[in-house]
Structure 1
Amino acid sequence: MNRSIAWRLALAIALTCALVLSVIGVFLYRSLASELTFRDDQALLGRLEQVRALLHDSDSLEALQERPRLYQNMLGNLDSVLLVKRSDGGRVIAINPHQQTLPDLPPIAQDSSPLRSDIQTVDNIALLTGVAQGPRDEPLIVTVGKRLQEREQMLASYRGRLYMAVGFGAVLAFGLGLLLLRRGLVPLRELAQAMRDITPRSLDQRMPADDVPAELKEPVQALNAMLVRLEDSFGRLSQFSADLAHEIRTPLHNLLGSNSLALNQPRSPDEYQELLASNIEEYERLNRMVENLIFLARADHGQRPLQLQTLALQTVGDELCDYFEALAEDRQLQLNNSLCGELNVDQQLLQRALGNLLANAVRHAEAGTTITLQRLDDAQYCWVGVHNQGPPIDPQHLDRLFDRFYRVDPSRAEPGDSGGLGLAIVRSIMLLHHGQVRVRSDAQGTLFELGFPALPRSA
C-alpha cells in the first residue's frame, strides 16, 4: 500500500522523536540509578564508621544490647541490616528484619577507611564488613547492609514512566507532524490544481511562482520552462499539420481539376497524353513530399543509422557541382568549389544536405553571380557552407527557415522543389551528426553553414 508523503514524513518524525526521547530517557535513567547507588554506598560507608565509633565509645557491649533503640533509630528503616559479632562468631547485635542469610565477607582492617569498592552486592543486598574496636579493645566484626528492593522498585516505576513518555511523545509527534505536513503541502495541492486546469487550448498559462515556498520555486520554474517548450512544440505541430494539409491539397486539387476537365468532353490522344504527363508531375511532387516526411520521421526517432567514413571534401564538392552545372548554366550562374581537407561523415547524408543547400542557392541567386562551396574551422566545429549572392533574407525569417513547410515567399514554389522540407531535412541530418546549422544573410549574400563536431587533435 502506497502511503502519502505526509504519512511517511510524519512517521519518520515520530520515529526520530521516539529515538531522541529514548536516548534522553536512557541517560536520565542511568543518571538516576547512578545517583541512588552513590547515595546508598555513601550511607553504608558512613554507617560503618558510625557503628565503629559507637562501639568504641560504649562502656560495655551489654549496655548496647540493653539499649537497641539507639542503633535501630540510627539505621532508620526496615531495609537496613546490622550485624556485630565477636571474633569467635558470637553475635552481639543482629538487626535483620527480613531474616535473610548473610554471607561471611572478608572484613576491612580497623585502620583502613572503607571505600565504595569494598561494598559487595549479594542476593539484592549491598553489604560492607569491617573490623571495629569494642569496649576494652575487644575486636569485633561489623557488617552493615541495605536491601535494594526499594531502589529497584523506584527504578522500575521510573522506567515505566519513561516508556509511557516515549510512547506518548512519539504518538504526539506523529499527530502534530501529520497535521503540520498536510498544512505545509497545501501549495502542492494548489499547484496540482493549477496543472489540471492547463489544457491543450490553454498552454499559454503558467504556474504561479510568486507565492510558493522557496523549496518549490525551482520545480515550478522548471515546469513553466517545460510549458514554454510544450507550447512552442504544440504550435509548431499545429502549424505543421496545417502546412501539410495545404501542401497536399494543392496537387490534389490540380489532379481533380485536370481530370474533371478531361472527362467533361472527349479528348484527342495527344491531349490525354499531355494530361497524364501533367498528372505525373503532381504525383512526383506528392511522392517527393512523402519520401521527405518519411526521412524526417526516421531521423527524429533515430531510425536512420549513420555510416561514417572519411571523405575528401573537394571530391564531394566536385561531384555536386557537376550535378548542378546544367541547372546553374540555365540561370547564368557559376559554381566554385573551395572545399578542402577531409571529414568523417555519412557520405549519403552529406551529399543530400549540401545538395539541398545548392538547390536553394541556385534557385535564389541573382544571374551572373557565383555560388561558392567553402569550409571554415574553429575550435569546436568544422563549418561547410554554401554562399550565394541574391536578395537578403529578412531577419524575421532567419529563425524559422529550417521549420517544416516554411517558405519566405510561399507564392514562389516552383516545380521540382522540396515542398518546404529541404532545410528541415538539412537540420535533421545535422542533428544526426550531433552538429549545428546556421545562416547569415545581408547585402553581401546569403551563407548557409553545416557545423560538424571537430575531432580532437592528437598531441
Structure 2
Amino acid sequence: MSKSIAWRLALAIAMTCALVLSVIGVFLYRSLAAELAFRDDQALLGRLEQVRALLHDSDSLEALQERPRLYQNMLGNLDSVLLVKRADGSPLIAINPHRQDLPDIPPIAQDRAPQRADIQTLDQTVLLAGMARGPADEILRVTVGKRLDEREQMLASYRMRLYGAVGLGALLAFGLGLLLLRRGLEPLRELAHAMAGIDPRSLDQRMATHDVPAELKEPVQALNAMLTRLEDSFARLSQFSADLAHEIRTPLHNLLGSNSLALNQSRSPTEYQEVLASNIEEYERLNRMAENLMFLARAEHGQRPLQLQVLDLGEVGDELCDYFEALAEDRQLQLDNQLSGSLMADQQLLQRALGNLLANAVRHAQPGSTVRLQRHDDAGFCWIGVHNPGPPIEAQHLGKLFDRFYRVDPSRAQPGDSGGLGLAIVHSIMQLHGGQVRVVSDTSGTLFELGFAQ
C-alpha cells in the first residue's frame, strides 16, 4: 500500500491542503490578534481622554469620590483599571477589581494627546498613564488599563478552531483526493488489463488511443511503437530460426546421404577419400556458419570491443585486391582500388566488412568487367564503396539484403560463401562503428557503401 501512486498522491494533496490552510489560518489569526489589539489600544486612548475631561469638568474631587459607580459603569467590565492620584501620591480614585500590583509608568504630559506608542504591556495588562488637571487646577496623575485575559481566551479558542479546521480539511482532502485519483487511474488499469492479454501470438494487437486521456496518449503511442518493434523482431527471429534450420539441414542432409551411400557397400580407398573430402567441405560450411553467428551475437551485445586506429585506406584496398586477385582472374574480372586518404576504424573489422562486399561483388559481377573500391565524403560521412557491374537487384530485395540468411536467389548459393550471413555481418560491423550502410542498384551495376562518421 505504501507504494501505491494513488495513496502517495492523495497524501501529497492532503499535505498541500494542510500547508495552505495553515498559512491562511496563521494569516487570519494574526490579523484577528492585530485587530483586537488595535481596538483595545484605541479604547484605552479614548478612556484616558474621557477621564481627563471628566476630572476637569467636575465641580469638585470630593463629588467624584462619592460616586465611584460612575467610573465602573464607564469602564464597563471587571477587567478595566482606573487609578487617579494627587500630586503627593495619595489615591483619589482606585478601581482595580483584581487587586493586582501596578507598577509606576512614566505619564505623558497633560497638553499632549496619547498615542499607541505610549501604551505599555506589563503582566498581561495594557497600561497608559497621563497627567490631568482637576476642578481647582489641581495636578492629577491618571492611569488607565485593561487586562488581556479575555482577549487571550478568545484567541486561544480561535486557535483551537483553526487546528481543527486544518486537520479536518487535510482529512477531507486526503479522502476526496484518493477517491478522485482512483477514478482517474482507471484508464491505467484498463491499459494494464489490455496489455495482459497480449502474448507472442497476438503481437499484432494495439492499444486504442482515441479514448485515453491526453496524459496517457504519448505513453500509449510509445507502447504501440514498442509492440510494432517487438512484432517485427519476433517475426525476424521466427524467420531466422526457420532459415537457420534450413541452412543447417542442407549440409547435414548431404553428410547423411554421402555417409549412407558409403556404408551401403564396400568402397575403394580412393572413393572413401572422396567421401571424406566432401564431408570436410560440409563441416567447413557448418563451421563458418557457427563462427559467423557467434560474431553476430557478440556484436549485437557489444561484446566485440573496437580497436580504433588511423588506417591508410589505400593500403587496406591493396591488401584486399591482392587477396581476391586469384578469384577475380578465375572469373575474368579486374580489381581497381581507388581508395585513398585515412580513416579511424578497427582494421580487422573494416577488412572483414570490405572483404564480404568484395567477395559478393566478385561472385555477382559480369565477366570481363571491373570491380572498383572507391571513396567519397559528404555531410560529415566518409563513404567507402564497392561497385560491381552486373544485373540490377530488384527494389523489393534491397531492404532485406542485410537480413540474416537472406539471398536474392537461393539457387545461386555456392561452396565457400557466407551462408547468407555476409551482409548481416557487414551491417553489424557498421553498427559497432556507429556508422551506416546502404546499397544502390541500377543498370550500371550495384554499389554497396559503408558510411563512417568523421
TM-score by length of 1: 0.96
Q: Does 1:78 align with 2:60?
A: no
Aligned-partner residue type, residue 146 of structure 1: K
Q: Does 1:420 align with 2:412?
A: no
Could you tell me whether the CA contact under 8 Å between 2:328 and 2:335 is conserved in 1? yes
SS of the residue 1:41 aligns to: helix
- CA deviations on 1:136-175 (whole Å, 9 max, x unpaired) are 1111111111111011111111111111111111111111
Displacement, 1:416?
1.1
RMSD (Å) for aligned C-alpha atoms: 1.4
Match of 1:289 in 2: 289
1-structure distance, mates of 2:315, 2:97: 118
Aligned-partner residue type, residue 237 of structure 2: L
Aligned-partner residue type, residue 407 of structure 1: R
1-structure distance, mates of 2:344, 2:39: 90
1-structure distance, mates of 2:238, 2:182: 41
Match of 1:212 in 2: 212
- CA deviations on 1:367-418 (whole Å, 9 max, x unpaired) are 2222111111113211111111111111111011011101111121111111
- CA deviations on 1:64-99 (whole Å, 9 max, x unpaired) are 122223222111111111111111222221111111
Displacement, 1:133?
1.2
Match of 2:254 in 1: 254
Match of 2:279 in 1: 279
2-structure distance, mates of 1:430, 1:52: 103
Displacement, 1:321?
1.9
Aligned-partner residue type, residue 408 of structure 1: V
Change in Cα spacing, 1:424 to 1:17, as seen in structure 2 (3 Å) is: same
SS of the residue 1:417 aligns to: coil
Aligned-partner residue type, residue 378 of structure 1: D
SS of the residue 1:382 aligns to: strand
Match of 2:234 in 1: 234
Displacement, 1:301?
1.9
Q: Does 1:434 align with 2:434?
A: yes
Match of 2:398 in 1: 398
Matches within 5 A, 1:353-372: 353-372=353-372
SS of the residue 2:212 aligns to: coil
Displacement, 1:442?
0.7
Aligned-partner residue type, residue 345 of structure 2: V
Displacement, 1:302?
2.1
Q: Does 1:145 align with 2:145?
A: yes
- CA deviations on 1:16-51 (whole Å, 9 max, x unpaired) are 111111111111111111111111111111111111
Corresponding residue pairs, total: 454
Displacement, 1:2?
3.8
Q: Does 1:29 align with 2:29?
A: yes
- CA deviations on 1:80-125 (whole Å, 9 max, x unpaired) are 1111111122222111111112222222221111111111122211
Displacement, 1:362?
1.5
Displacement, 1:441?
0.4
Match of 1:38 in 2: 38
2-structure distance, mates of 1:312, 1:57: 119
1-structure distance, mates of 2:357, 2:171: 73
Displacement, 1:307?
2.5
SS of the residue 1:137 aligns to: coil
Matches within 5 A, 1:258-273: 258-273=258-273
Structure 1 segments unaligned to the other structure (5+ residues): 455-459
Matches within 5 A, 1:77-226: 77-226=77-226
- CA deviations on 1:251-307 (whole Å, 9 max, x unpaired) are 101111111122122222222111111111111111111111111122222222223
Match of 1:457 in 2: none
2-structure distance, mates of 1:268, 1:256: 19
2-structure distance, mates of 1:347, 1:144: 103
Match of 1:19 in 2: 19
Structure 1 ranges of 4+ moved more than 4 A: none
SS of the residue 1:438 aligns to: strand
Match of 2:343 in 1: 343
Change in Cα spacing, 1:52 to 1:310, as seen in structure 2 (3 Å) is: closer
Q: Work out the percentage of aligned pairs sharing the same amino acid.
A: 82
- CA deviations on 1:425-451 (whole Å, 9 max, x unpaired) are 111111222211110001111011111
2-structure distance, mates of 1:22, 1:316: 77
Aligned-partner residue type, residue 392 of structure 1: P
Change in Cα spacing, 1:122 to 1:378, as seen in structure 2 (3 Å) is: same
1-structure distance, mates of 2:89, 2:308: 109
TM-score by length of 2: 0.97
2-structure distance, mates of 1:346, 1:14: 60
1-structure distance, mates of 2:288, 2:333: 26
2-structure distance, mates of 1:310, 1:155: 83
Match of 1:376 in 2: 376
2-structure distance, mates of 1:196, 1:399: 33
Displacement, 1:342?
2.2
Displacement, 1:330?
2.1
SS of the residue 1:211 aligns to: coil
2-structure distance, mates of 1:19, 1:54: 52
